[in-house]
Amino acid sequence: QTIRNELISVLVQNQPHYLSGEEISRKVGCSRAAIWKHIEELRQQGYEIEAQPRNGYRLVYRPDRVAPEELSPHLQTKSFGRHLRYEYSTPSTQILAHQWAREGAPEGAVVIAEEQVEGRGRMGRLWHSPPQTGIWMSLILRPPISLPEASQLTLLASVGVHRGIERVTGLPVQIKWPNDLMIQGKKVCGILTELRGEQDRIHYIIVGIGINVNTTGDHWPTELRSIATSLAIELGGTIHRATLIAAILEELEDFYQNYLQYGFPAIQKKWEQAAGMLGKTITAHTHQVAITGVAECLNEHGALLIRTERGMVPVYSADIDWH
Ligand code: BTX
């Protein structure tokens, strides 16, 4: 696997030029016969690699997969994504991540799938995750924080994903409290944070991230078409998912390190800059009531403060409508 990853990375770096078999075997650190065998296997997986007797090999096309050998050459993180579980199809990456976390997965471990057949949102809702079109991944974290602080991780994740998407696509993404990323008022990404722990100690947190990347309207059921969008729809062209995942994991790791070192205020500022709803009149539908007022800012726990006629109200969990 490591040799395969190295080989892909060497071919990608050298694209669109040829590289001789000798040079590849020196860079990758194995024999020319072994290189040839790996190249054959890559071709079977859909890679197009041109070979010329005099010039060597050249990568012409690589399939858009999010398998470890596609992802690793792009990753520049210390721990995020360094332990990776990949499935083509799974009910939900959250379920696999919970299992893995219980078995002792290290912090930063990631479960990723091409397709989820029962992808989940909050409160038992479904997350539509058609094959090879999006990023459906779950990140395992073990922060030394207490239960009430856990919702800060959802906000941290929004900021990290926001930054990663903007860096790769340049698209104007806005964060909608607590867990959505929107483009022009349509949902492009949802974040689901689940955890196991006791009041004063968290065993682990699973941050589930779903991003519509190369999805088109026909992938969605009718009811989603008016409320969902994808990066490809907004950009007018497809995006290499592995590149985007790597950028997002880098940003997440960066923000997470900052959070562990300096606490929530570091995240809070970034969040407020990227939130599209501050200063606007909104209605927050909690389990019990609907609260209408102006979205002011976050408090130090990550709750949204809404200025109402009766004063400032903190909201910890709700669905938001904008006016
Ligand atoms: P949410 O409860 O805020 O949003 C779910 C709602 O969003 C659905 O009821 C539907 O209206 C709408 N929706 C469903 N699918 C999509 C979609 N693909 N794009 C836009 N809108 C949609 C949001 O929950 C949290 C979603 C987390 C998904 C990740 S994917 C990796 C991980 N595994 C898993 O099962 N869930 C998480």
User: Any idea where the domains of the chain sit in the sequence?
Assistant: 2-61, 68-274, 281-322
DSSP 216: -
Distance (angstroms) between ligand 1 centre and the Cα of 122 equals 7
Yes or no: say if 68 and 33 are a contact pair by the CB < 8 Å rule. no
| Residues 243-267 as b or e (16 or more Cβ within 10 Å = b) | ebbbbbbbbbbebbeebeeeebebb
CA-based angle 264:279:258, to the nearest 5? 15
C-beta contacts of 223-226 below 8 A and 24+ residues apart: 224/128
Atom of ligand 1 nearest to the CA of 121: 24
CATH architecture of 281-322: Roll (2.30)
Over residues 58-67, the mean pLDDT reads 90
ipTM: 0.99
Mean pLDDT of all residues in the chain?
A: 94
Closest C-alpha to 175, from 137, 188, 260: 188
Q: What pLDDT sits at residue 315?
A: 94
pLDDT tens, position by position, 259-310 = 999 999 989 989 999 998 899 999 999 988 999 999 999 998 899 999 999 9
Report the residue count for the chain. Answer: 323
C-alpha of residue 120 to centroid of ligand 1, in Å: 6
Topology (CATH level 3) of domain 2-61: Arc Repressor Mutant, subunit A (1.10.10)
Q: Are 213 and 229 in contact (CB under 8 A)?
A: no
Where does ligand 1 bind, in terms of residues with CB under 6 Å?
92-94, 116, 119-122, 125-129, 136-138, 179, 187, 190-192, 208-210, 212, 224, 228
Per-residue pLDDT at 1 exceeds 70: no
Distance 174 CA to ligand 1 centre (A): 17
Find the mean pLDDT for residues 77-94: 96
CATH number belonging to domain 68-274: 3.30.930.10
**Protein residue with least CA distance to atom 19, ligand 1:** 228
Nearest CA to ligand 1 atom 1: 121
Q: State the Cα–Cα distance between residues 92 and 141, nearest whole angstrom.
A: 18
